[in-house]
Amino acid sequence: NAGVTQTPKFRVLKTGQSMTLLCAQDMNHEYMYWYRQDPGMGLRLIHYSVGEGTTAKGEVPDGYNVSRLKKQNFLLGLESAAPSQTSVYFCASSYEKTGRANYGYTFGSGTRLTVV
């Protein structure tokens, strides 16, 4: 049981290049999330999805796009990378039922992205 898998693990981009980060989960979770983590800032939500075919903006969505064409996959795209997008990106998923208040998230191992 792999849990949440992120690819790639590391990437260096030049300013203006584009790329897609892939997140895959095999736990049949409804909810999926993309976070970025920067020193002193904590984890900040970029975009999230509450089910196949749906996406929504989080706290810091600018410069990113997402897609959830299949329940198990959540893609994060950078259309034109900027140095400010240098960060560690974490994908997470959760099983959500209304009224069940204490579900945590399962995180992937992260993607370390450097934009030069």
Partner 1 sequence: RKEVEQDPGPFNVPEGATVAFNCTYSNSASQSFFWYRQDCRKEPKLLMSVYSSGNEDGRFTAQLNRASQYISLLIRDSKLSDSATYLCVVRILTGGGNKLTFGTGTQLKVEL
Judged by the rule CB under 8 A, the positions of this chain that interact with partner 1 are 31, 33, 35, 40-43, 45, 48, 50, 56, 58, 90, 94, 96, 101-105, 107-110
Residue with smaller CB distance to partner 1, 10 or 14: 10
d(CA 41, CA 94): 23
Torsion sign (Cα): 46, 83, 89, 79: positive
Residues pairing with 73 in the sheet: 24
For the CB of residue 16, give the shortest distance to partner 1 in the complex, in Å.
28
Q: How far apart are CA 30 and CA 10, in angstroms?
A: 27
Nearer to partner 1, 15 or 109 (CB): 109
3-state SS assignment for residue 93: strand
Residue given tokens 């209304």 in the structure block: 98
Closest distance of CB 40 from partner 1, Å: 6
For partner 1, which is the closer residue by CB, 19 or 88?
A: 88
Provide, rounded to whole angstroms, the least separation between the CB of residue 79 and partner 1. Answer: 24
Least CB distance to partner 1 at residue 80 (A):
27
Q: Report the distance separating Cα 39 and Cα 42, nearest Å.
A: 7
